[in-house]
Structure 1
Amino acid sequence: MNTHTTSRRRNLASGLALPAAAALALTGCATFPAAAPTPQGVGFDGIQSATVQIEAVGTFVSPDGGYEAAGRGSGFLISSDGLAVTNNHVVVGAGTLKVWLGGDTSRTLNAKVLGSSECLDLAVIQLQDDDYPFLTWREGEIPTATDVYAAGFPLGDPTFTMTRGIVSKADTAMDTPWASLDHVIEHDARIRGGNSGGPLVDADGRIVGVNYAGNDQHDQNLAIHRDEVRAVVDTLASGEGVLSLGINGTAYTAEGEGLGIWVNSIASGSSADAAGVKPGDLITKMEGVSVGTDGTMADYCDVLRTHGHDATLSVELYRPADGRYYTGQFNGTAVSAVSVVDDLGGTPSGGGGGSDPTDFTTVVDDTQSVAVDVPAGWAVDATPFTDPRGVTWASIEASTDLAAYAAGWSVPGISVLAAPTDTAQTTPEEWLELVTPYLQQSGCSLSVSDVYADGYHEGVFDYWTGCGETGADYLMLSAYSADGSYVVALSVTALDEGDLPIIDRVLGSFIAQF
């Protein structure tokens, strides 16, 4: 029996890229010093002229839904022919990139992503041909208390901004929801949403790092250390990825628990793209290692560091769009849906159920305690259920015909009941025993009886076949929540092969909260 992990819909912690929908309106052009670049770069007075604002547009999916504008971030030029550095989370997965140089919104430049790294949160992009001002790297040590300046375009505003501070931690390791870095500079030059990918420079205008994260509450501002960037920038500029499968991802947490790596977008032609991973997927395991459980990219990136991003890597993921679990490989066999029914050998003989499980809708019971996906168009009863002992359960019942579903085996349907454990007074094992006599009287044959675990529930299930005159399949599952606070009882009736995917969808989508 495969075990699975379900996904809760919650707001996702994000990096510093600001969603375009929230950006301030563009109102006029900024000006910047006309300092001429030299082989040594533009120097401090020319920082603005070599800093860019980037808008990425494409298919991006957050736990709250999909949108076409990823947002705006910053970047900076490192060569006169248009090579620029920014963050992976600013640009990867974009269909188009729009770039404005130094706050000059009168001229929109095109750019393409050459190479990227989700683990280092770095990307190198190539601007269209021209002769550009550029910044150069600071040489020597970057000690604590070094004066630094954060340059960029915070809050999506086209007006160039610089803030001043000092290095508070010269070199520290840092894991965040969207990166896992061995070398990070912590400083107090304030950065905000939209500063992502912008330069952190010294008093001479030399690059000391790439800003990628900030926390206003703790006055914490983080930049990827110059040495981390310089070690990979040439590789990225050559078109190769570094510690990258081509995702723009973020560790996803719900109720304080890390559930996996949420895929916001995918780089076309990448290993993730070839594996069939899609925006909106939640990667739960790689090479048998659960990822994102600590709310960071650390475990995901450790797998890549151990095996290399070009290796064949097993992957398990959950796809909320269809409520299914998938397994496959990066750089190997593409992912395919895991079917609980296939594992159990479900083969209903057919009774003309007439279900079309391609479209589903999420139903919530009247007490707001239970939710589950059911085929669109099914009739639903979401009123509480009171059992013969007087115990009230949160309840959802759905079918093509609720009366016929209650009366026998002529139509498909689902039932979900849940109640606090101290109220329910029924164990998962007792639930299965309660329905067994009825199923035996209906001619059902017990096909599989096993334990059940999905990361949030632990219990037991029975899978029956040949039920009634239609030879229907019937799944009966009951389980405690992982914290023991409630018990759930779930049943699904399937009449033909067209109904079988409903079982997978129900198991992949049901949630309860008390």
Structure 2
Amino acid sequence: MTSRHMPRRLGAAGLTTIAAATLLSGCVPSFLPGGSSGAVGFDDVQQATLQIESVGTFVSPEEGGYEAAGRGSGFLISENGLAVTNNHVVVGAGTLKVWRAGDTGTELNAKVLGSSECLDLAVIQLEKDSYPHFDWRSDDITTAIDVYAAGFPLGDPTFTMTRGIVSKADTPMDTPWASLDDVIEHDARIRGGNSGGPLVDAQGRVVGVNYAGNDQYDQSLAIHRDQAQEVIAQLAKGENVLSLGINGTALTDEEGTGLGVWVNSVASGSSADKAGVKPGDLLTKLEGVSVGADGTMSDYCNVLRTHGQDATLSAEVFRPADGLYYSGQFNGDPIEADSVVAAATGGTASSGGSAAASADFVSIVDDSGSVTVDVPVDWSDVDTAAFTDPRGGTWASIEASPDRATYGSGWSAPGISVLAAPTATATISSEEWLQMVGSYVQQDGCVLASSDAYSDGAYEGTYDYYTDCGGVGASFLMLAATSVDGTHSVALSVQALTDADLAALDRALGSFIAAF
């Protein structure tokens, strides 16, 4: 099994998949009472339906960062240009382009007024004019009524409507990008690009907001009219609801284990933005609760429902871009890199964040394929053969340095050694590794400067930090630990001459993967 519940180098090793992969968020790479004047009828649904293009920089767990234009749908709910769409269609975009009724010759500007990542809703304002718009259905929404999904699937500017019936009139639903109490299941086929478009009845009145589809089961999902109407007035006034400003998706590994909430993009000026969360981050805990563990946004949204979006919320984040873990708060102290180096040295050495981020790293895999770790690219003298310990035990091993011969025989070259073995066959315990290695390095004048417990949610153990090694001022840090699931033991050490060398340890801890 994989050693951690969080991925490293997301996408590069093909470790991640979006939870419920067949459930597609339909986006391509009382406001108005029933019977209001000027509302469209069934024959004119197209006139009040929008195609929305979001342009900006997004970060995919599989493709990395890219600047792109993704297209979804939306619909007008007032004569002056208020419109509804999905959070995942518009939040985090640099610009929005809107076309009405499939009229590609007339491009309209729009701004996001308010949004909710938990409800996957957003209200946008088009440039002021007099627009045709929808009414909401005032009658009950019941099973088996005819419904029609309107929008612009697959990014095609040609307006499309599909017909179906309501199969479930009102059901709770958690997906990788939303957590809703009231959802309509129907079989009016929707595709990527339909997200945010209206689901209407035979009179052209809105019964829901389409946001997801499952091709395998011919199932489409719409946010129920009642759920949408509860918050649209707030969103239209610029008040976000159940939102920290994240356009996120719960992520799982290949085995279906939840990893956290992947941040595709962040709304500028939002709580997430002020906390220092960036596109490409993986939010793993919120207020001490593991989020995305079930492959949905449920736990994330339940924390917001419990504490409120304006509360000070503790957060833990993994940032694959620099291989480091961060902790801090939303609406409080911004996140900062968690650094073993800073803890071990009392802050006298670099925290590792800037050094690790600015350096170039490369992933190394041992000969057995069991262990992977990131090392500085200039530590190109590498040995990935198995290691036999003094008691005859075999360990998966990676050793890297600019000069391994010098690294192995003295203190004038930096380097890293990583060992891992199944617990059942590990012949040396964590405590014995520390004692054995400590006795050896102290013979070369190394002074034990600090020793402390280590825990990152995946491993628990102890690290020892030594200074003044070999009479050249070298530092040495040794970590010995056992995986929290008890499957394997690790021993990792770094020999350092500079702060940048020590920063390699933080990167190694963030990138380390062991599978037995």
TM-score, shorter chain, exceeding 0.5? yes
Report if the CA contact (8 A) 1:148-1:165 is conserved: yes
Match of residue 29 from structure 1? none
CA-CA distance at 1:5 after TM superposition: 6.6
Structure 2: which 5+ runs fail to align? 11-15, 30-34
Q: What SS does structure 2 have at the residue aligned with 1:47?
A: helix
Distance 2:469 2:347 in 1: 11
Aligned to 1:42: 40
| TM-score normalised according to structure 2 size | 0.88
Contact preservation (8 Å) 2:344, 2:451: no
> SS of 2:294's equivalent?
coil
8 Å contact kept, 1:209–1:224: yes
| Structure 2 residue aligned with 1:258 | 258
Asked if structure 2 preserves the Cα contact closer than 8 Å seen for 1:12 and 1:62, the reply is no
1:331 aligns with 2:331: yes
Structure 1 window deviating more from structure 2 (302-311 vs 10-19): it is: 10-19
Which shows bigger deviation, 223-232 or 425-434?
A: 425-434
Counterpart position of 1:53: 51
Q: Tell me the SS of whatever aligns to 1:462.
A: strand
Asked if structure 2 preserves the Cα contact closer than 8 Å seen for 1:360 and 1:373, the reply is no
CA distance 1:73–1:400, shift in 2 (3 Å): same
* TM alignment of 1:120-131, pairs within 5 A: 120-131=119-130
Matched residues in 1 for 2:488 and 2:362: separation?
21
Residue 446 of structure 1 aligns with which residue? 448
**In the alignment, what sits opposite 1:384?**
385
Change in CA separation of 1:41 and 1:382 when aligned onto 2, cut-off 3 Å: farther
Could you say if the C-alpha distance between residues 357 and 323 of structure 1 is closer, same or farther in structure 2, counting changes exceeding 3 Å?
A: closer
Change (3 A) 1:149 1:492: same
Is the counterpart of residue 82 in structure 1 residue 81 in structure 2?
yes
CA contact (8 A) 2:26 2:190 kept: no
- Paired AA for residue 388 in structure 2: D
Matches within 5 A, 1:94-243: 94-243=93-242
Residue 365 of structure 2 corresponds to residue 365 of structure 1:
yes
Residue 302 of structure 1 aligns with an amino acid whose one-letter code is: N
Residue identity matched to 2:323: G
- Distance in 1 (CA, whole Å) between partners of 2:410 and 2:474 is 10
What is the CA distance between 1:50 and its match in structure 2? 1.2
Q: Which amino acid aligns with 2:278?
A: K
Opposite residue 88 of structure 1, the aligned amino acid is N
**Cα contact 1:12–1:252 (8 A) shared by 2:** yes
Look up the SS of the partner of 1:236 in the other structure.
helix
Q: Distance in 2 between matches of 1:45 and 1:349?
A: 70
Q: Greater shift after overlay, 264-273 or 65-74?
A: 65-74
Retained in 2: the 8 A contact 1:53–1:103?
yes
Find the partner of 2:17 among 11, 14, 35. Answer: 11
The 1:324/1:375 distance shift into structure 2, 3 A limit, reads: same
**2:37 partner letter:** P
- Contact 2:366–2:372 under 8 Å retained in 1: no
CA contact (8 A) 1:275 1:331 kept: yes
**2:5–2:257 Cα contact (<8 Å) kept:** no
The letter of the residue matching 1:383 is: T
Distance 2:436 2:156 in 1: 64
Cα distance in 2, alignment partners of residues 346 and 408 from structure 1: 26
Q: Return the offset for 1:136.
A: 0.9
Deviations 1:96-148 (A, max 9, x none): 11112122222222211111000110001111233222111000311111211
- Where does the alignment leave 5 or more consecutive residues of structure 1 unmatched? 21-36
Deviations 1:317-340 (A, max 9, x none): 111111222222222222222222
SS, match of residue 506 in structure 1: helix
Question: Residue type matched to 2:17 in 1?
Answer: N
Task: Verify: 1:375 aligned to 2:376, yes or no.
Answer: yes
RMSD: 2.5
Q: Which residues in structure 2 correspond to 1:409-424 (within 5 Å)?
A: 409-422=411-424, 424=426
Q: Normalized against structure 1, the TM-score is what?
A: 0.89
The alpha carbon displacement at 1:232 in A equals 0.8
Q: Please give the alpha-carbon distance, in whole angstroms, between the structure 2 residues aligned to 1:288 and 1:477.
A: 25
What SS is found at the alignment partner of 1:476? strand
Q: Which residue of 2 aligns with 1:343?
A: 343
Cα distance in 2, alignment partners of residues 301 and 463 from structure 1: 41
Structure 1 CA distance, aligned partners of 2:288 and 2:348? 33
Cα distance in 2 for residues equivalent to 1:249 and 1:18: 13
Pairs within 5 Å for 1:270-289: 270-289=270-289
For residues 322 and 492 of structure 2, the distance between their equivalents in structure 1, rounded to whole angstroms, comes to 19
Distance verdict in 2 for CA 1:19–1:378, change over 3 Å? farther
1:445, distance to aligned residue in structure 2 (A): 3.0
- Give the secondary-structure state (helix, strand or coil) at the position aligned to 2:88: helix
CA distance in 1, matches of 2:275, 2:444: 44
Question: Structure 2: which amino acid aligns with 1:211?
Answer: N
Query: Does the residue aligned with 2:217 lie in a helix, a strand or coil?
Result: coil
**Could you tell me how far 1:196 is from its partner in structure 2?**
0.9
**Residue 124 to residue 356, structure 1, CA distance change in 2 (3 Å):** closer
Do 1:479 and 1:487's aligned partners in 2 also have CA atoms closer than 8 Å?
yes
Match of 1:30 in 2: none
8 Å contact from structure 1 (residues 93, 265) kept in 2: yes
